[in-house]
Every structure is written in C-alpha cells, then in structure tokens.
Amino acid sequence: MARLDLIDIKILEELKKDGRMSYNDISKAVDRTEATVRRRVKSMLKEGVIKNFTIDYEVNNSKQMTRATIKIEPDFKKMKSILKKLQEISEVTDIWRLSGECGLFIKVEIPSIEDFNPLIEGKISSIDGIKIIETCFITDVIK
C-alpha cells in the first residue's frame, strides 16, 4: 500500500468534496503546482489508493416527491383493460402483477400528499374492475 503524506491526503479530501474538481483548482486549495497535483493523482490511481471517481445523485432531483404503494384487487376478467389504463396514468411509476390472489401492487409518485386523494378518486378508483385494498406511504428508501 502506498504511503500517503499530508499533501496526498489534502488532494484526496478535495476530490472527495468534488470528484470533478480541476487539477488547477485542487492545486490552489492544497498550495502546490498543478503539475504536482496531476502527478500525485496519477500515482494514487496507479497504486490503487484512488479506486475510481463516482458521483452522488438523487434519482428524482426535482422537488421531493411523495411516494405511495397501493394494493389493488382487480377483476381478473378485466385485467388487460385495467393494466392498460393504469399504464396511462403518469403518476403510476411501477405496476406489479402478483401471484395467486394477491392481485396488483402499484407505486405512485405525486408532488405532495394533497395530490393523493384526487389521484385515487379521480383516476385510479374510476377504472372499472378495481378495488383498492390498501395504501401505504413510503417514508424512507433503504435500498
């Protein structure tokens, strides 16, 4: 394993804050020349100290959406029509057909909780052959 000195650690800290930071900007932050920073980063990459450059992101980078799951008991004779109509609803992001008597499970994303009842009453419940069994709001995504 490579031995890191204080300059290497400072460079790593700058890259940790922003992996896209330019060598020039890093050099100013660590008070070394751009060539020194470039050489040290290259060396840390070669020696495996820096494994890769990654990004931190949010899947939905607009406003935080309110998400919920809805368990539906469908009329199985009307399944094709139900699925077609659910797919047309923009707030429905996922649809799962479950085995046995479990029916359908859908996930919806809406701008706020106030938009939930209009979605249920105006769009989902109005589909012929649907009976809503249970709704749950997603409070935290673990994985």
Give the mean pLDDT of 62-87: 90
**What residue ranges in the chain does DSSP mark as E strands?**
66-74, 92-97, 104-110, 130-137
Give the mean pLDDT of 59-72: 78
Distance between CA 89 and CA 64 in Å, rounded?
Answer: 19
- pLDDT value for 143: 79
Q: Quick check: pTM over 0.75?
A: no
Percent of the chain residues topping a pLDDT of 70: 93
pLDDT band at 100 (very low <50, low <70, confident <90, very high): confident
Residue intervals in the chain for CATH 3.30.70.920: 66-137
Is the domain spanning 66-137 CATH 3.30.70.920? The answer is yes
Residue intervals in the chain for CATH 1.10.10: 6-46
- pLDDT value for 137: 93
Q: What topology is assigned to 6-46 in CATH?
A: Arc Repressor Mutant, subunit A (1.10.10)
Q: What is the pLDDT of residues 7-20, one digit of tens each?
A: 999 999 999 888 88
Give the mean pLDDT of 118-129: 95
Distance between CA 75 and CA 130 in Å, rounded?
Answer: 6
Contact of 141 with 65, CB cutoff 8 Å: no
Residue 1 has pLDDT above 70, yes or no: no
Give the mean pLDDT of 86-115: 93
- pLDDT value for 55: 75
